[in-house]
Structure 1
Amino acid sequence: MNETTQLYYKKNRLKQLRAFCHAARAGSITLAAESLFLSQPSVSLQIQALEREMGITLFERRGPQIKLTPEGEVLYQLSDPLVEGMDKLHETFAAQCGRLESGEINVAAGESTILYILPEFMKRYADTYPHIRLKLHNVTGRDGMSMLRADDADFAVGSMIDVPDDVIYRPIFTYGPKLIVPLDHPLAKKRAVSLEDVSPHGLILPPHHLSTWRIVDLVFRQHGLGYRVALEAGGWEVIKKYVELGLGISIVTDVCLTGEEQLKAIPLDDYFPARSYGIVIRKGKFLSPQAKRFIEIMDPHFFEELEKEEEEGGKKSVKKRKK
């Protein structure tokens, strides 16, 4: 490669990497072109030029869908933080100078998190940084993960049971399981309630595909007990309302209990696990100063603990290699 060609590639490398990273996130050249406000041929040419320069194939092409090759995955992990850092250079510079005067953050969260956990932190952040736009996306866990992987959200806040390899989850809050019944329900008069006591009564549960239903089903099966679902309803506020009306009883996480409900809440810690809620970020994600400040408001030690964990993980990797 002659000097003129090398200069050309260096001059255009950021454009090539930006096209490549957008295509990798979207899994589609067409969607990458739309997000970059470029034509599809233009994005394809940028990626092809990068492949020639690197001497590798970056994507496996399967019709309209594309998938990273192993070499493409390595380059993506290296280049994505660099591209995001360059794209947000102005905001980062302003933050380093002590000014958070503009920008936006996108937060993905489920309904319960939005209603019961985030309001206090949203208010504190908006009061401290009034010129930063806050975008709150009400999504299920699966859709929230899709947003993180596509970089449509800076981070997510919620509860995770199974943590995928490509994300980091740090719990911040823990809430216990509660049985909620109407005030005049027979179980409301009992000092302690067993799972056998709950079994004969109709339950009001969230939709079948959500983790709450799976946990309830698992616990009852582990104890050799049956259960009956009287009503399937989405959202803790809806469930509480219908329990108050006497249409059934429910098992909830006490994050949703404000103390204003006309209900009796009975602990079920002997049967059901506590539920944690915390911050979820994509591994390798470049977090803007605006996003970092929000996370630090929720958990002042988040990044200190994250750095410690990464250092410990690095030491373990070195030990394994030496063995």
Structure 2
Amino acid sequence: MSEPRTPRFAYKADRLKPLRAFCQAARLGSVSRAAEALYLSQPAVTLQLQALERELGVRLLERSGRRLTLTREGQELYELARPLVEGIDGLEAAFRERLKGLDAGELNVAAGSSTILYLLPRIVEAFRARHPEVRLKLHNVTGAGGLDLLRTDGVDLAVGSMLDVPADLSYAPVYRFEPMLITPREHPLAARPEIALQDLSPYGLILPPQRLTTYRLVDLVFQQNRVPYTVALEVGGWEVIKQYVAMGLGISIVTSICLTDADRARLAARSLARYFPSRSYGVVVRKGKYLSPQARAFIELIRPDLFAPRDYDAPGHSER
């Protein structure tokens, strides 16, 4: 034998309408005045009140002279329903007010020295012009340090280059830069029509420290091609490396992101795209992390719609 079914009424699917009508009638003491306040007809409000009473199985309102008053049950419901109805009705205004507050606040971005120095200045300038009230913090950290900050919510996002992307992060490459050999302008390699990897062997390389991606990538390419090489100097920072190359202390392999017009006037730069992969730079976020309005505004300046919701579920990939 099947269980008796609970009767369904026309307004049960949308409890907000009858509750709103009930709260207005209770507050104003009149169905007609409630109808005026709700921009509805009086019969429509009456139907909503009747449906609510049928659903709850109690009388909520009773007439006292020309005014409606609450029954004991009606008073209990009014105390419960009023904050709910007022909260829903005021939701849009409260939301807009919250958004105004979110226009200020703080944005933390992790990036390496080269990204901060060569890639971000115009983006930061545009962000500051559009959102002067937001306190922007750039954390100058290496790749691993930036990922640690992402995972511990120390930063909202990271901008930089990645070779291997962990499964818990999303990386969206935006820019690509070519690998370049840089030498002094009077260096023997500067005038060669073509440069082979073997041509670099006699000359000492100036490279970033071994722990960094650039050093490991250079070592990998030379090893794979069985070409010997020597490191004359390890030093951090593209600006220092370029200065030392210009001084004749060695040659280097850099990414074209760091080469300015002034550099090309004092250095010879030759493409090594035949041997080394180009390097991408982009935005890194933690999968599943809610991006604040400030973070989204910053990312929009890099590339609009860079992170659609579907990207958060995409598996990590490798550029290697």
| CA 1:94–1:118: 2 relative to 1, 3 Å | farther
How far apart are 1:308 and its partner, in Å? 4.2
Give the TM-score normalised by structure 2.
Answer: 0.66
249, 267, 276: which one aligns with 1:263: 267
Aligned partner of 1:244 in structure 2 is 246
272, 278, 288: which one aligns with 2:282: 278
How far apart are 1:301 and its partner, in Å? 2.3
Structure 1 spans left out of the alignment, 5+ residues: 1-91, 314-323
How far apart are 1:128 and its partner, in Å? 0.6
Tell me if the contact between 1:94 and 1:100 (Cα under 8 Å) persists in the aligned partners: no
| CA 1:185–1:292: 2 relative to 1, 3 Å | same
Partner-residue secondary structure (3-state), 1:260: helix
Tell me if the contact between 1:110 and 1:139 (Cα under 8 Å) persists in the aligned partners: yes
| CA 1:254–1:94: 2 relative to 1, 3 Å | farther
How far apart are 1:97 and its partner, in Å? 5.0
Residue 211 of structure 2 corresponds to residue 209 of structure 1: yes
Aligned partner of 1:106 in structure 2 is 108
Q: Distance in 1 between matches of 2:137 and 2:313?
A: 33
Aligned partner of 2:77 in structure 1 is none
How far apart are 1:93 and its partner, in Å? 4.0
Q: Give the letter for the 2:211 counterpart.
A: H
Tell me if the contact between 1:95 and 1:289 (Cα under 8 Å) persists in the aligned partners: no
How far apart are 1:286 and its partner, in Å? 1.4
Aligned partner of 1:164 in structure 2 is 166
Q: Distance in 1 between matches of 2:298 and 2:280?
A: 19
Question: Which structure shows the bigger proportion of residues in helix conformation?
Answer: 1
Q: Distance in 2 between matches of 1:93 and 1:243?
A: 56
| CA 1:99–1:241: 2 relative to 1, 3 Å | same
Aligned partner of 1:289 in structure 2 is 293
Q: Give the letter for the 2:286 counterpart.
A: R
| CA 1:272–1:147: 2 relative to 1, 3 Å | same
Identity of aligned residues (%): 54
For 1:242-262, what per-residue CA distance to the aligned partner results, in whole angstroms no more than 9, with x for missing partners?
Answer: 000000000000000012111
Partner-residue secondary structure (3-state), 1:278: strand
How far apart are 1:102 and its partner, in Å? 1.1
For 1:117-149, what per-residue CA distance to the aligned partner results, in whole angstroms no more than 9, with x for missing partners?
Answer: 000000000001111100000001111111001
| CA 1:310–1:210: 2 relative to 1, 3 Å | closer
Structure 2 spans left out of the alignment, 5+ residues: 1-93, 316-320
Partner-residue secondary structure (3-state), 2:183: strand
Pairs aligned (count): 220
Tell me if the contact between 2:179 and 2:256 (Cα under 8 Å) persists in the aligned partners: yes
Q: Distance in 1 between matches of 2:97 and 2:112?
A: 29
Q: Distance in 1 between matches of 2:100 and 2:301?
A: 16
| CA 1:245–1:312: 2 relative to 1, 3 Å | closer
175, 184, 187: which one aligns with 2:186: 184
How far apart are 1:284 and its partner, in Å? 1.3
How far apart are 1:101 and its partner, in Å? 3.7
Aligned partner of 2:46 in structure 1 is none
For 1:85-128, what per-residue CA distance to the aligned partner results, in whole angstroms no more than 9, with x for missing partners?
Answer: xxxxxxx9458756754111000000000000000000000001
| CA 1:95–1:296: 2 relative to 1, 3 Å | farther
| CA 1:193–1:139: 2 relative to 1, 3 Å | same
